[in-house]
Structure 1
Amino acid sequence: MTPGLPPAESLTVEFKSDRKRLPDNELVEAVACLANAEGGELWLGVEDDGTPTGLHPEHQNLNGLVGLVAARTAPSVTVQVDAPVVGGVRVARIVVPKRTEVSTSAGVYLRRRIKFDGTPECAPMLPHDRVSRASSMGALDVSAQAVEGATLADFDPLERERLRQAVQKHGGDRVLLELDDEAVDGALGFTVRQPDGSRVPTLTGLLVIGREASLRALVPTHEFAFQVLAEQAVRFNEFRNFPLIKAIDWLETNFLPYNPEEELQVGLFRVPVPKVDMGAFREAVANALIHRDYYRLGAVHVRLENDALVVSNPGGLVDGVTLANLLTTEPRPRNRVLADAMKRIGIVERSGRGVDKIYRGLLKFGRPAPDYARTDTTSVIVRLGTDAADLDFRRLVVEEERRSNGELPIDSLIALAALRELKRVSADELALRIQRDAASAKRTLEALTEAGLVEAHGTTRGRSYTLSASVYQRAGSKAAYTRQKGFSGIQTEQMVLNFVSQHGRIKRSEAMELCRLTDDQAFRLLRKLVEQGRLVAHGEKRGAYYTLPGAP
């Protein structure tokens, strides 16, 4: 079945009028334009305002269109074509796949983009755009390439020493400490050899141990800013071009005065409770500096606002990574050599699961999960909320991790945070939050049940979960536990019957709200009362309602 005509043009939808027969070169350019963005649909025979006006007589036979596009694009693009009737006229829907880089046979490179007013356009794809796209698609690692004009004199001996200190401080690969400078450069991808045997600095080398003046001259896109905003007033606002290890140290040093912490007594231990977890801060900042697009102008911004720390970097998520799989997808660094070097130095998470560390740094204090909602195709933006910590929740996490002698899995932390927020969840609801399937979510909830942190209610599809009585007791909230545990089966039955007696009828949605049940639980309760002859069902599906026997 052919999808309907979209309501308007967008990044992935292009309308082309065919009343005067669209020239072949314009059609092929439109295909290349879509392929060089996210792919999408080209609707031929539709005006810019979305009005279908039909195909030109010469385009009524679309059999040769697939071959035309393949022959006049490089590398060849294979499209799919169908001819639906829309608004009483026949149009063509051309489905275009996403490709790394496509030009027309005439050498024209175009890319689809959204203008400032929110409308789409096809714009020239400049050389730096092509490199940037290849990098985001995993087809090119710019961090491994030699930097034109750079020499070994652009490396700073002081930054080499800072690197060695960082390996010791952060628990990096200690083998690096035993190597001489040339061997370190080779091991970390700081240099590449030329045909004549000479060594030339790579982008990774300059970014990690380059002189500041050399970075400004040779890598003009490298810049970062630390800003502190308080009630719309700017308290701190400085831009720098330091090499990366020095940059992260500088950002931490300047951030610490704005990051007060309190202490929580847990047994014999004092546990610090900072405004922002420094592990999450370091990972978010390092990720922004390492994974940014170094072919795009714009600074990495680290901005402390009234209610959040916001970290942003130029360059959207790389191909294959979305907001729906951030927690579960395999690491796909845009700058692989740079990312590997920083892992070996110990600056970032060795496993490549830095997002987990950012989540953990917020959730373990009972704060909301990191918010990536403002991320788009041009930048990654993460917001780390600085809400007041939930000290009871933090105590619970510390006690459980000491009991089990290990960190709670990230899925378990997310589950406990969801239960704290929503009071009651199902496996399906948790699956969306941990970005896994319902079976994985159920295993997480059942493991927490065995640990005594969670209680399960119901069976099979209607099974739901709440925090356990012991958790509420530790927080001094016994009444809250009773409310969330719900009512007994007899109580819920009587509440439904009383409601029907008072109001004449009840719908499933009303039973859900009345007894705090899931949709499936309410359905089974009402069906049971019908089977017992205590209620009578009327209507079907959404229109169904229930009355007492003998009621009009």
Structure 2
Amino acid sequence: MTGLVDLDELARRENEQTEWKENVADVDNVVATLSAFANDLQNLGGGYVVCGVREEKDEHGFPRLRRIGLTSNRLKEIEGSVLGLCRTNVSPPITPLVEEIEIGDPRLRILVFLQPATGSAHTFRKRSDGAKHYVRVSRETREARNGTLKDLLVRKGALEPWDRRPCNGATEAELDLIALREFLQRMGRFSAEQGVAPYLSPDYPLSTLVPSLLVAEPLTGVLRPRNFAVLLFGRNPQRFIPGAVTMFSIYPGTDRSDRHAERHELDGNLVEQALKLKELLDVQSYTAYDKADPKAPNAIRYPPNALYEALGNALAHRDYELVDPTRLTVFADRIEISSPGPLPTGVDIEALRAGNAPPKWRNQALAWFFTRLQLAQGEGQGIPTILRAMREEGNPPPVFDADQIRVVVTLPAHPRHAVLRDLRAAEQALVLGDLERARSQVEGVLDRDPLNFRAVQLFAEVHQARRDSAAVAAWARARLDELGGLPSQVLLALGEAIGSEQTTDEGRHLAIHLLDRAATGRLQEDTVRRIVLALRRAGDDERAFSLLDGQLLARPEWASNPLMLQLRGDTLIGMARRCREMATKPEVAPTTRARAWREFGSYLDRAEHDLRAALVLSADTRLREQITNSIAVVDQLRQEERPPEDAEPGAADGDTR
């Protein structure tokens, strides 16, 4: 006994390094675990197999160890069998250290095998099976297969990394020398005197991290381009590496159920693909403007730096031995970038999500070129760049997922763009006459952002189409104190929706109040016309005339605008009708009726003046027809009514004629 092992200390450690055995029913399992510790895929330094200890749980559900022990005969039997198999059935052989630990009973001891990590990739041939590589995955010993086996062999130097291996079947002629020269120029490594010839030598490494582009076959001496050279500079990389394809898809919705998707299949060398993909991604990285947000009025849908880094990582670090393409999929609310192959061995997904994962290159040569060509950040900077860019632009954080098939990064769109998407859907539903869907969409936006300008305006338009002025009135009354900050166009839309012919007197008063608020500041011609028409529909011709008259005084150029003159003429006709209504009420005092008749005539005269001026100025046939009809109304009003004898025009308060 050497005192190398402290069971209490082992119990406190992570169990990836310790295997607990009670009776050792299967010695092969012990040796397989020892060979896995020697292979040390997780870079833990090795591990322990402890025989004669049972794992249990205490009354609180926490793990605890019960020291069972082994008899002397059983201990010697296990030790001899294990060490014998380690010499004969493990290749290269391993020699674990052995420790015996007393447990208080002189008849029993615990047997511990200590196996340090080695520099070799060991196989173990069970007595009932062929030779296999074993590794530790969490607390289990498993056979290394597929990507795990490749990672192990590369890690131990038994297999060259894939991107450095010769590309089977490819020759020097496969390389596009013009593309090679262009990329060398971009990296500042091209010499016109030497040309590209030095880079075609198998003895010319590009850097200490990147080997030569070509390698000579050991037996024939034929020069073969390495896999990374074919991917970067090959004329037709897909001929030799079928998975070197990128699928770029755009779906209008939030899933793949929509049949009307836009798809691009990109081939060629990786640099060409990366540059084309950047162009396609730039289209998605547009800006939404919100003048209501003085701190950040511009919100970009996706930060370009985040997009480019995620793209560079997907192309540089994927597993090209798989035939699946790299996939970039644009949805209405996010972009998903899927890279075939699992995370490189030793990269923890939680550390990756936090931006704390140590640098790990699957394809070191590719990553080196991508960095030099400014298609990706330097070592270990890609994920932190994505996280920072999304955070600084106000986007939700990216989502990283990984399994044994692929690694996926999801970049959510800026929330403002999600609102825009829903508003566009509501607009589309409205123009198609699907009023219930439009209502549901726009009210969903208002639930999240109650005073979103466009949502409020669209809410009013939808309910106006539904002839539901009461719903708009109820919404506006509940937020009356907050509506002052809304733009004139939004207040106008609310007033138009509330002040319809079906509204109540209370609704008309609310509509007029909103329209009054809308009629402040310097207004565009179209806005003035809409406010005037809305006020007239709400039954307030006087306010409509006051607004219009004031705007015409403030804008002298509008005095020759036939549309504005026609509108003022029609408003004066409305005021004349109100005067006539008052003048014909018998319960009204005679002097008031007389005054109303005088104003009636005055308004008609002014209306006719504006309308005839508009008729002269207008060249539009339809407008001239409308103006002519309004003049006919003036003539008809003059002929329809005559003042009664007790209210002759001219009789007024104090008039003694």
TM-score by length of 2: 0.45
Corresponding residue for 2:393?
A: 365
Q: Counterpart amino acid of 1:357?
A: T
Identify the residue that residue 224 of structure 2 maps to in structure 1: 200
The residue that corresponds to 2:87 in the other structure is 71
**Equivalence for 1:251:** 277
Aligned pairs for 1:35-50 (under 5 A) are 36=39, 37-38=41-42
Residue in 2 that maps onto 1:142:
162
* CA drift at 1:285: 1.4
Distance in 1 separating the partners of 2:290 and 2:190: 39
2:384 equivalent among 324, 334, 356? 356
Q: Match for 2:26 among 22, 28, 46? A: 22
User: Counterparts in 2 of 1:442-461, with a 5 A limit?
Assistant: none
Measured in 2, the distance between the counterparts of 1:218 and 1:49 equals 54
Q: Of 288, 307, 313, which residue of structure 1 is paired with 2:339?
A: 313
Summarize the alignment of residues 385-396 of structure 1 with structure 2, pairs less than 5 Å apart.
Answer: 385-388=412-415
Cα distance in structure 2, aligned partners of 1:48 and 1:223:
50
AA matched with 2:151? S
Confirm or deny: 8 A CA contact 2:124 2:134 kept in the other structure.
Answer: no
By how many angstroms is 1:64 displaced?
A: 5.4
* Structure 1 residues 194 and 91: CA distance shift in structure 2, 3 A: same
Deviation, 1:247, is 1.8
Q: Deviations 1:322-345 (Å, cap 9, x if unpaired)? A: 456654666342222222222223
Report the more deviating stretch, 346-355 or 44-53.
Answer: 44-53
CA RMSD of aligned residues (A): 5.0
Cα distance between partner residues in 2 of 1:305 and 1:56: 66
Displacement, 1:2?
3.0
Query: SS in structure 2 opposite 1:133?
Result: helix
Name the amino acid aligned to 2:26. L
Contact 1:144 1:204 (8 Å CA) reproduced: yes
Distance of aligned partners of 1:138 and 1:101 in 2 relative to their CA distance in 1, 3 Å threshold? closer
Whole-Å separation in 2 of the counterparts to 1:263 and 1:183: 53
SS at match of 2:415: coil
SS in 1 for 2:288: strand
Question: What letter is aligned with 2:363?
Answer: N
**1-structure distance, mates of 2:379, 2:116:** 32
State the AA in 2 paired with 1:287: N
Residues 475-505 of structure 1: per-residue CA shift (max 9 Å, x gap)? xxxxxxxxxxxxxxxxxxxxxxxxxxxxxxx
1:245 partner SS: helix
Partner of 1:232: 255
Q: For the pair shown, which has the larger CA radius of gyration, 1 or 2?
A: 2
Structure 1 CA distance for aligned equivalents of residues 346 and 136 of structure 2:
19
- State the match for 1:478 in structure 2: none
Q: In the alignment, what sits opposite 1:111?
A: 134
After superposition, the Cα gap between the structure-2 partners of 1:272 and 1:347, relative to the gap in structure 1 and judged at 3 Å, is farther
In structure 2, the partner of 1:528 is none
> Aligned to 2:198, which of 179, 183, 192?
183
Call closer, same or farther: CA 1:58–1:247 in 2, change over 3 Å: farther
Query: C-alpha offsets along residues 406-452 of structure 1, whole Å, 9 cap, x if unaligned?
Result: xxxxxxxxxxxxxxxxxxxxxxxxxxxxxxxxxxxxxxxxxxxxxxx
Judging by fraction of residues, say which structure has more helix: 2
AA partner of residue 27 (structure 1): V
3-state secondary structure, aligned to 1:109: strand
Q: Could you say what secondary structure the match of 2:402 adopts?
A: coil
Per-residue deviation, residues 70-119 of structure 1 (Å, max 9, x unmatched): 53533454656677899x998766566666622137871233588xxx99
- 2:485 is matched with none
Structure-1-length-normalised TM-score = 0.53
> Unaligned regions of 5+ residues in structure 2, if any?
1-5, 58-64, 418-657
Q: Shift of residue 175 of structure 1?
A: 2.5
Distance 1:274 1:293 in 2: 32
Distance of aligned partners of 1:123 and 1:329 in 2 relative to their CA distance in 1, 3 Å threshold:
closer
Q: Which amino acid aligns with 1:111?
A: Y
Q: 1:345 to 1:70 in 2, by over 3 A?
A: same
Higher relative contact order (CA 8 A, sep 6+): 1
What is the aligned counterpart of 2:314 among 277, 288, 291?
288
Letter in 1 for 2:224: V
For the residues of structure 1 that align with 2:242 and 2:249, how far apart are their CA atoms? Answer: 20
Q: For 1:221 and 1:247, locate their aligned partners in 2 and report how far apart those are by CA, in whole Å.
A: 13
Helix, strand or coil: the match of 2:411? Answer: strand
- Closer/same/farther in 2, CA of residues 156 and 362 from structure 1, 3 Å limit: same
Contact 1:225 1:240 (8 Å CA) reproduced? yes
| DSSP 3-state at the match of 2:393 | coil
Pair 1:338-2:343 in alignment = no
User: Which deviates more, 32-41 or 362-371?
Assistant: 32-41
Contact conserved, 2:288 with 2:300, CA < 8 A, in 1?
Answer: yes
Match of 2:242 in 1: 220
Tell me the residue number matched to 1:2: 7
Equivalents in 1 of 2:102, 2:301: separation in Å? 59
- Structure 1, unmatched stretches of 5+, are 391-552
Task: Provide the C-alpha distance between the structure 1 equivalents of 2:323 and 2:139, rounded to a whole number of angstroms.
Answer: 22
* Contact persistence 1:135–1:334 (CA under 8 A): no
How has the CA–CA distance of structure 1 residues 121 and 134 changed in structure 2, closer, same or farther, with 3 Å as cutoff?
closer
Retained in 2: the 8 A contact 1:33–1:109?
no
Instruction: Give, in whole Å, the separation in 2 of the partners of 1:182 and 1:271.
Output: 54
Which residue of structure 1 aligns with residue 507 of structure 2? none
Aligned length: 371
Distance 1:180 1:197, change over 3 A: farther
Q: Secondary structure at the match of 2:275?
A: helix
> Counterpart of 2:339 in 1: which secondary structure?
strand
Distance 1:13 1:223, change over 3 A: farther
Counterpart-to-counterpart distance in 2, 1:161 and 1:271: 44
Q: Does the CA-based 8 Å contact 1:35-1:97 persist in structure 2?
A: yes
Check the 8 A contact 1:224/1:301 in 2, yes or no.
yes
> By how many angstroms is 1:365 displaced?
0.9
User: For residues 177 and 357 of structure 1, what CA distance do their matches in structure 2 show?
Assistant: 33
Determine if the alignment matches structure 1 residue 60 to structure 2 residue 79: no
- Aligned counterpart for 1:31 among listed residues 22, 30, 34: 34
Structure 1 residue aligned with 2:142: 122
| AA partner of residue 131 (structure 1) | K
